[in-house]
Amino acid sequence: MAVAAFPGLGKTTAVLAFARAFHRREAAEHGAFTAQGHERWPVCRVGLTGNTGMKDLNRAMLEFFGHPGRHTSTAAQLGLQALDCMLLCEVRVLILDDLHFLKWRKTNGIEVSNHLKWIANEFPVTLLKVGVGLADKGLFSEGERAGDTALAQTGRRTTRLDMPPFSIDSEQGRLHWRHLLLALEQRIVLADAYPGMLADDLSDYLFARSTGHIGSLMTRVNRGCQRAQRTGAERLTRDLLDQVRNNEAAEHARRELEYALSEGKATSRPRRNRASR
């Protein structure tokens, strides 16, 4: 599987939350150790860089397990040692994060693509790939040029999972946005915080300033809470949040949306909540 979405939508956060829950579930069902006495590690997570090659990927997997041979073995030996660790620790899911860092049209990108096929064939795991613009990078392409044909099989084997930004174009989207704000309210620790501080009083404002991207939303709420504590306000308001600098991407995209919300041409509040107010 491949989780592909724009930056700032919480891909890695969502995948790590899934990995944590899956790890705990497997440990609870089967125990912390395997039948052979090895530690059970249901999930292995590897982060890629722009210069990752086949040997680097194998070494990164061994780094996860702390294998002593990760500094001295050849690329082929590293791959077999990684397979041995996966089998002994009964790994079920292998997460490859930041897959977009690979330059698929370059030599090392083709090399790693072929290596991923080998892992899919030989490792008894589910591959979960995470990245930005994976389709544009060529992960799902059939290869229109001779040099791209090596990538075709990866696209055939991969199921794509999208993570779109929050939207207020439908009632369901507005409900999702409200549920997110209600969940955030429960985690805010301010002396004068109150129910509805985000979901009722700041719903439109926060959507306009974040444009539905959870990364921008969390940055603004976190910085707002820090300012509220430093100034003694102990609650989040529009005036206070206006003093918090926005990230460049959200600031650039917010103006048209902010106008529509202020003029009543759009709203982030579900219909039943608008009626109650």
Higher pLDDT among residues 114 and 277, named by residue: 114
Do residues 109 and 102 touch, judged by C-beta distance below 8 A?
yes
Query: Does residue 113 have a pLDDT over 90?
Result: no
- 37, pLDDT greater than 60: yes
pLDDT for residue 238 is more than 80:
yes
Largest CA distance in the chain: 68
Across the beta sheet with 160-162, the strand order is: 43-47, 93-97, 126-131, 2-4, 160-162
CA distances from 17 to 1, 6, 23, 24 (A): 16, 19, 10, 11
- pLDDT tens, position by position, 193-219: 999 999 999 999 999 888 888 888 998
Which class for 277: exposed (0-12), middle (13-18), buried (19 or more C-beta within 10 A)?
exposed
Q: Please give the average per-residue pLDDT across 143-155, as a whole number.
A: 56
pTM of the model: 0.76
Q: What are phi and psi of 159, to 5 degrees?
A: -100, 125
pLDDT band at 126 (very low <50, low <70, confident <90, very high): very high
- The whole-angstrom distance between residue 54's C-alpha and the CA centroid of its chain comes to 24
pLDDT surpassing 50 at residue 240: yes
From CA 79, how far away is CA 54, in angstroms rounded?
9
Arithmetic mean of pLDDT, 41-60: 86
Is residue 139 within 8 Å of residue 102, measured between CB atoms? no
Q: Are 141 and 148 in contact (CB under 8 A)?
A: yes
Q: Are 96 and 128 in contact (CB under 8 A)?
A: yes
Q: What is the DSSP string of 88-128?
A: HTT--EEEEE-GGGS-TTSHHHHHHHHHHHHHHHHS-SEEE
